[in-house]
Amino acid sequence: MQKSNPTAAIPPYVWSRPLGQGWENPYQVRYSSNLDDGPWHGAPLGGLGAGCLGRSPRGDFNLWHLDGGEHTFGRIAACQFSVFEQVGEQTHAYALCTEPPADGCLSTWGWYPDKAAGEDFISQSTGTYHALYPRSWFTYERVFNAELTCEQFSPIWAANYQESSYPIAVFVWTAHNPTDQPITLSVLLTWQNLVGWFTNRLKSPEVKLRDDGSPVYDYAPCWGESQGNVNQLVGDEQRLGILLSNGREPIAPPAEGEGQWAIATLLNPLVTEVFYDTRWNPAGDGADIWQSFSQDGSLRNQEEETPAAEGEQIAAAIAVRFTLKPGQTRQIPFVLAWDLPVTEFAPGIQYLRRYTDFFGRNGQNAWSMVRTALKHYPTWQQKISEWQQSILERPNVPSWLKPALFNELYDLTQGGTLWTAATEDDPVGQFAILECLDYRWYESLDVRLYGSFALLMLFPELEKAVLRAFARAIPTEDARTRPIGYYYTIGVESPQAVRKAARATPHDLGAPNEHVWQQTNYTSYQDCNQWKDLPCDFVLQVYRDYLLTGADDVAFLEDCWEPIVQTLRYLKSFDQDGDGIPEHSGAPDQTFDDWKLQGVSAYCGGLWIAALEAAIAIGRLLASTTSSFRQVSSLQQVLGEFLIWLDQARSVYHETLWNGSYYRIDSASGSEVVMADQLCGQFYARLLGLPDVVSESCTKTALRTIYQACFVKFNEYVASGAIAAQTYTSVIAARAAETAEREKATVADDHSPDQPHPARPLSDHSPIGAANGVLPDGSPENPNATHPLEVWIGINFGLAAFMIQMGLYDEGLEITEAVVRQIYDHGLQFRTPEAITGNRTFRASHYLRPMAIWAVYGLLSGEL
């Protein structure tokens, strides 16, 4: 038998994993209050903002992001592919998951083995999972006589603002007969009726402060509530499908979670037989399906539309049976679609999803979707392949980077993504991605300073829609007050802080339990009205998006200009000594929000100078495009103001912070820490063709110092066991120790709810990436520090892009490869975290910032 299917068109650059193979020492969550679903994650299926589901390298469907902004993880055993094979008199059938259900359901089913004995009786893998988002493949080996591959994808490709929104998953089965005998195969798709499951039964959940100071609320999906659900056979001359609905009269729009699912395949009576069963029991032993399927690959052809009774579950099934002659190959498509058109935030705050612009808004369009998919899926495959191939063929992009580049795009779908229907004010709809599932608020502006490069390069109109939302929010005020979580973690009473000050740039666009885009600044861990980077981040992203999307969308700049002026003036009010640069007051008041800075900082000071340059460039451009004397006069007045600030800031920044090797983290703390991201402002200035913040020679010297201290020497420190020999103190205990009242505070129980996992040595000595901030010898300034000793994946990609920009290619790629290896070799794939540590722990999975890997590609390819 041949070892590989010659017809499976799997690109050479994919992430691969043997089916069902676990991880010996995967990363574990650093703080037990953070999400850790384990390493069984695969590429998601579903359109941007349409809701998505995930299928793991075990073969199970286990991730369900179908309620906007909410996370549900757990396998539904009845949602599954199975294969029957007959060669001569021999038959066998398997459900294609390597782990049987833990609850004992479907006990009559055969489950696919994860190991097979070879000719030398040594166990061998029974197949491989491959991923190159939005495509992924399962190949099955050493179990069936036929060679089988299942390619699965959703129609997502760059600059596609229609099909990329579709809630559709396509599965193309390729079967090849390498033997000298006929082989009969049957491919079965079973799916449980999930209508009504994905909405929060807690309509007004209470918001609480978690042990790390972050606001959280409970999410309780209506999991398993299927009473009244109905499955219905549908079809025409070319297609056969089953609709799964709630059986009630449709209303437009329906309630959140209501609508339809559908499964379908093509009819070809000359070469295939199609069987169906519209109603079987997924909570039982599964014999009602498996008895006939395992015998000859058929189903009962039962058409039953009785609604589910209270407490009852129902599922549907379609099977396609065909015979392959020796040497013959055949492809069989299946389509899964869901029409759940409404996302609801707080009660009564509802938005329609983007795909409803193309399929209607009543939640009764799943059959139309599958018909569309079965007609157009070959074209979709071609478009995705052509888009990916144009990047995969680039010789100056390392082979290990290519799969990571696409697979990190998973968050465009899986990040609790919202994409609304179009309106006159938002012609492509509004768009938003969560910071992460632990910090469940949208489009954190500091995080997307790096993390938005993917959206910018692939879907620029969505990128500009996000920044327009920030522009609208800047003038607004929300005078409600609230405590700040940071003070809770250090055990002192919190002052009450205004939620959103007028003219302050908001940190985020809101959370899914309130009103995204309207109620901003959801996070209350810090008082983000005090942050010194957010206004700069906004200005730089606006100018970046204008320049890198053709430099012709003047209307975009006009929409953002007044907010730019307002927020820079607001930030300037923190310049207490009048030297032209806003100062830090000692609280963590920037993206490293556990890290106290004092006086002028390298990070925020550089961003301030770059932002002023960008604002001046925008103002001059607007002045050159208007014939209004009044507008020109107003612009010139503002530009004069900004130029004075810029001149002052430039005279202070370098002289205050440069020590000959790097820029000190700030001017007043006395810290000697080498901060990895100290020159983010210089990176942006170079990227946007603005005057340098600091000289090229100082930039390169600082980058070489960062490389040596934060990467080379830090990883030597990790490899020496110095970090692994200690248990990280919890955030609460570490901060409490900083207060006079609790100088000797300890956490007695290493396994208490707010205690991080104990330190574990690395299984190898490969570098894990660059730490945020260490002393020049790579050691920590404070062993109990949080953010300085973490390796932030997105910051590493941003730093690497900066190094490549400055000609330090080897150093930049070495850092990039180190963090890519940690993600994809140690069980972090498709849940990439914000941070990892030398103890092989992580924090904040499914994070937005790692899509900064596209900045690395942009600098390598010349697209940025």
Contacts (Cβ under 8 Å, ≥6 apart) of 740:
none
CA atoms within 13 A of residue 271's CA, in its CB half-sphere: 9
The partner residues of 336 in beta bridges, in order of sequence, read: 169, 263
Contacts of 172 (CB under 8 A, 6+ apart): 150, 151, 152, 331, 332, 333, 377, 381
**Distance separating alpha carbons of residues 841 and 855, to the nearest angstrom:** 26
- What confidence category does residue 102 fall into, taking pLDDT thresholds of 50, 70 and 90? very high
Pairing of strands 72-73, 80-87: unpaired
pLDDT, one tens digit per residue, over 294-317 is 999 999 999 999 999 999 999 999
Asked whether residue 666 carries a pLDDT value surpassing 50, the answer given is: yes
Concatenated DSSP letters for 70-131?
A: --EE---TTSEEEEEEEETTEEEEEES-SS--TT-TTTTS-B--SEEE-TTS-EEESEEEEE
Residues 404-437 pLDDT 10s: 999 999 999 999 999 999 999 999 999 999 999 9
Confidence tier at 488 by pLDDT (50, 70, 90): confident
Query: Is 117 strand, coil or helix?
Result: strand
DSSP state of 178: -
Helical H runs in 485-597? 485-489, 534-547, 554-572
For residue 714, pLDDT over 70 is answered with yes
Hey, is 566 helix, strand or coil? Answer: helix
Residues of the chain with pLDDT > 70: what percent? 94
Contact (CB, 8 A) for 850 and 451: yes
Report pLDDT for 764: 63
In the block, tokens 């210089």 appear at: 682
Distance in angstroms (rounded) separating the CA atoms of residues 499 and 689:
36
Q: Which of 782, 776, 781, 757 lies closest to 837 in space, CA to CA?
A: 757
Q: Say how many C-beta atoms besides its own lie within 10 A of residue 397's C-beta.
A: 18
Cβ(557)–Cβ(621) below 8 Å: yes
**Mean pLDDT of the region 564-586:** 95
Number of helices (H), then strands (E), belonging to the chain: the values are: 20, 36
Lowest mean pLDDT among 207-216, 274-283, 532-541, 693-702: 207-216
Q: Tokens in use for 554?
A: 């003047």
Kindly report the average pLDDT of the chain as a whole number. Answer: 93
Q: Hey, is 792 helix, strand or coil?
A: strand
What's the rounded Cα separation, in Å, for the pair 824 and 245? 38
CB 164 within 8 A of CB 155: yes
Residue 497 has pLDDT above 60, yes or no: yes
Q: What is the mean pLDDT of residues 652-677?
A: 97
How confident is residue 491, by pLDDT bands cut at 50, 70 and 90? confident
Which positions ≥6 away from 628 have C-beta within 8 Å?
none
Classify residue 666 by its DSSP letter.
B
Q: Which of 177, 187, 185 is nearest to 1 (CA)?
A: 177
- Enumerate the β-bridge partners of residue 670: none
Asked if residue 760 has pLDDT above 50, the reply is no
pLDDT surpasses 90 at 747: no
pLDDT per residue as tens digits for the range 775-790: 999 999 999 889 999 9
Q: How many CB atoms lie within 10 A of CB 231?
A: 31
Residue among 573, 533, 557, 549 at smallest CA distance from 795: 533
Q: Please, which residues bridge with residue 478 across strands?
A: 500
CA distances from 790 to 22, 52, 302, 487, 712 (A): 26, 30, 57, 22, 15
**77 contacts 60 by C-beta, under 8 angstroms:** yes
For residue 262, give Cα distances in angstroms to 152, 192, 360, 370, 736.
16, 10, 16, 7, 54
169 pLDDT more than 90: yes
CB of 663 within 8 A of CB of 623?
Answer: no
Residue 44 in 3-state DSSP? strand
Instruction: Decide which of 627 and 159 is more confident.
Output: 159
Looking at residue 826, its amino acid is H
Phi, psi of 459 (to 5 degrees): -135, 70
More confident position, 730 or 301? 301
Distance in angstroms (rounded) separating the CA atoms of residues 46 and 56:
15
Q: How far is CA 407 from the centre of its chain?
A: 10
Q: Which helix (H) or strand (E) holds 384?
A: helix 366-392
pLDDT of residue 741: 39
Q: Is the Cβ–Cβ distance between 858 and 453 less than 8 Å?
A: yes
Q: Say yes or no to pLDDT of 252 above 90.
A: no
Percent of the chain with pLDDT over 90: 87
Alpha carbon distance, N-terminus to C-terminus of the chain: 48
Instruction: List beta partners, residue 606.
Output: none
What does residue 602 show for φ and ψ, rounded to 5 degrees?
A: -65, -40
Which of 489, 438, 484 is closest to 747 using CA atoms?
489
Please state the rounded mean pLDDT for residues 620-645: 95
Question: Is 630 exposed, middle or buried (CB count within 10 Å of its CB: 0-12, 13-18, 19+)?
Answer: exposed
SS3 content of the chain, % helix, strand, coil (to 5): 30, 20, 50
- pLDDT for residue 735 is more than 70: no
Query: What tokens were used for 473?
Result: 């929010």
pLDDT of residue 120: 58
Token duo for residue 829:
């794939």
Alpha-carbon Rg of the chain, whole angstroms? 28
Cα–Cα distance measured from residue 420 to residue 512, given in angstroms and rounded to the nearest whole number: 13
Name the β-bridge partners of 215: 209
User: Tell me, what's the pLDDT at 493?
Assistant: 87
Contact 5, 149 (CB under 8 A): yes
Cβ neighbours for 637, distance < 8 A, ≥ 6 positions apart: none
Q: 346, 259 in Cβ contact below 8 A?
A: no
pLDDT at 118: 62
Place of tokens 């295939």: 272
pLDDT in tens, 201-213: 998 888 888 877 8
* Rounded average pLDDT over 637-656: 97
Name residue, tokens 């250090």. 490
- Sorting pLDDT into bands at 50, 70 and 90, what band is 751? very low
Average pLDDT estimate for 642-652: 97
The pLDDT of 673-685, averaged and rounded, is 98
Contacts of 76 by beta carbon, 8 Å cutoff, 6+ apart: 61, 62, 192, 194, 282
630's CB contacts (< 8 A; 6+ apart) are: none
Instruction: Please tell me the predicted confidence (pLDDT) of residue 9.
Output: 85
Give Cβ neighbours of residue 120 (< 8 Å, ≥ 6 apart). Answer: none
Give the number of other CB atoms < 10 A from CB of residue 3: 8
Q: What local confidence, expressed as pLDDT, does residue 56 receive?
A: 98
Mean pLDDT of 49-64: 98
Nearest-angstrom CA–CA distance, 669 and 777: 19
Evaluate whether 63 touches 273 at the Cβ level (below 8 Å): no
Give the separation between CA 645 and CA 808, rounded to whole angstroms: 32
* Dist CA 825 CA 810 (whole Å): 21
**DSSP assignment of 391-432:** HHT-TTS-TTHHHHHHHTTHHHHHTT-EEBPP-SS-TT--EE
Diameter over CA atoms, the chain: 90
184 DSSP β-pair partners: 86, 323
Residue 119 — pLDDT band, cuts 50, 70, 90?
Answer: low
Judged on CB neighbours under 10 Å (0-12, 13-18, 19+), 40 is buried
- Residue by residue, DSSP assigns 446-472 as HHHHHHTHHHHHH-HHHHHHHHHHHHH
Point out which residues pair with 123 in neighbouring strands: 117
Residue 510 has pLDDT above 90, yes or no: yes
Per-residue pLDDT at 765: 76
Task: Give the CA dihedral 692, 698, 699, 701, nearest 10 degrees.
Answer: 170
pLDDT digits (tens, 9 = 90+) for 816-856: 999 999 999 999 999 999 999 999 999 999 999 999 999 99
In tens, the pLDDT along 442-465 reads: 999 999 999 999 999 999 999 999
Quick one: which H or E segment has residue 836?
A: strand 835-836
